[in-house]
Amino acid sequence: MNYSRRLVLLIVFMLSFYSSSIAQIVVFPTTVIVSKSNRFGTFYVTNKSQDPQQITISYKFGYPTSDSLGNIYMQYSDSIASQKYSCAKWLKSYPSKFILPPGQKQTIRMLISPPSNIHDGVYWTRLVTNSKPQVNFPDTTKNGVVTHIVFAVDHVTSILFRNGKANPHVQILSLKTHRDQQGNMQFLAKLHRDGNAPFLGNTVLQIYDSNGKLVRTFNEPIAVYFDITKEFTLDTNKYSAGKYTARLTLNSQRDVLANHPMLKTSTITKKIAFKLK
């Protein structure tokens, strides 16, 4: 077998091997909330792969945002918001680097030490759990140059720090309809945070026909750190022509808030009428 073919086969093998291995690293819970009265947080890293994993814990400020069409992405380059809202520099993790054997779970303790002069509200950061397989490669130099590919994967979760009173208030600034290129009906909800804390909740969009019958329900989680547009797409081929009403509801019924009632807020709604032809 010539060199180029050996190299291609090895790369394909390594891609398959490491992708399968790293995909089995689990970080739980996905959101940890700490406060001034409870400055310790806990999360767990589980290695469900068959190989030891090198784990490194770090913090990076960011938040979800969107474009005008509701395409959501993570924003990590907002230095102004980072200076005002980031709690990354106040956090320490124990341990922050370790080797996790196959089938094992590691408990990570966090301690937050905020300054005493910060304002009431919620500060946040992203917890980045970097995993990389620890593998000893065989010596294959006798048959020529060999390329080894090792994947490092970042598992990103959320850390919130509540200081004093938190008001996660959010507004539905607008609810509009828009036809996409396939002719489906899109609902674009522009959401605005005007409290001193992010809104973590659910968006529930209900579609009613002209007789008031519920014909479709969308139920999706949402995190409103700053202004964001949430998009829902209705396949119009499944519904007859006529008049309809869409009702959007925002609520804070999230499991992550079960033990943090101060981060809950009142339910708000907005309606819009539309036609299908």
Q: What is the pLDDT of residue 267?
A: 92
Q: What is the pLDDT of residue 14?
A: 44
Q: Is the pLDDT of residue 129 over 60?
A: yes
pLDDT recorded at residue 143: 57
Please report, for the domain that includes residue 102, its CATH number.
Answer: 2.60.40.10
Note whether 209 and 78 are same-domain residues.
no
- Indicate if 146 and 38 belong to the same structural domain: yes
What's the per-residue H, E or C state across the chain?
Answer: CCHHHHHHHHHHHHHHHHHHHHCCEEEECCEEEEECCCCEEEEEEEECCCCCEEEEEEEECCEEEECCCCCEEEECCCHHHHHHHECHHHEEEECCEEEECCCCEEEEEEEECCCCCCCCEEEEEEEEEEEEECCCCCCCHHHCCCCCCCCCEEEEEEEEEEECCCCCCEEEEEEEEEECCCCCEEEEEEEEECCCCCEEEEEEEEEEECCCCEEEEEEEEEEECCCEEEEEEECHHHCCCEEEEEEEEEECCCHHHCCCHHHCCCCEEEEEEEEEC
* Structural domain count, the chain: 2
Q: Which pLDDT score is estimated for 148?
A: 53
Query: For the residues 136-142, what does the mean pLDDT come to?
Result: 56
Q: Do 44 and 88 fall within a single domain? A: yes
Q: Domain check: are 124 and 92 in the same one?
A: yes
Provide mean pLDDT across the span 240-265: 85
Regarding predicted confidence, which is higher, 245 or 182? 245
Does 145 score more than 80 pLDDT? no
Q: What are the two backbone dihedrals, phi and then psi, of residue 167, each rounded to the nearest 5 degrees?
A: -125, 90
Query: Do 56 and 111 share a domain, yes or no?
Result: yes
Residues 154 and 197 placed together within one structural domain of the fold: no
Does residue 173 surpass a pLDDT of 90?
yes
What mean pLDDT do residues 268-276 have? 96
The span from the CA of 224 to the CA of 65, in Å, is 8
| Length of the chain as a residue count | 277
Q: Do 137 and 187 belong together in one domain?
A: no
| 142 pLDDT tier (thresholds 50, 70, 90) | low
pLDDT digits (tens, 9 = 90+) for 12-64: 444 444 444 445 889 999 999 999 889 999 999 999 988 899 999 999 999 99
Question: Do 193 and 251 reside in the same domain of the chain?
Answer: yes
Where among 94, 129, 163 does a domain terminate? 163
Instruction: Kindly state the average pLDDT of the residues 155-170.
Output: 93
Q: Are 75 and 204 in the same domain?
A: no
Question: Which of 143, 163, 183 is the endpoint of a domain?
Answer: 163
Token duo for residue 52: 């030891």
Please calculate the CA angle 40-44-46 and round it to the nearest 5 degrees.
170
Same domain, yes or no: 154 and 188: no
The confidence score (pLDDT) of residue 181 equals 86
Do 183 and 270 reside in the same domain of the chain? yes
The predicted pLDDT at position 136 comes to: 60
* Domain extent at residue 246: 170-276
pTM exceeds cut of 0.95: no
Cβ burial 189-210 (10 Å sphere, 16+ → b, else e): bbbebebbbbbbbebbbbbbbe
Q: How far apart are CA 110 and CA 108, in angstroms?
A: 7
Residues 87, 216: one domain?
no
pLDDT of 73 reads 96
Residue carrying the six token digits 């590919």: 149
Query: 92-106, 133-147, 155-169: which has the minimum mean pLDDT?
Result: 133-147
CATH code for position 186: 2.60.40.2360
Give the confidence band of 252 by pLDDT, cuts at 50, 70, 90. confident
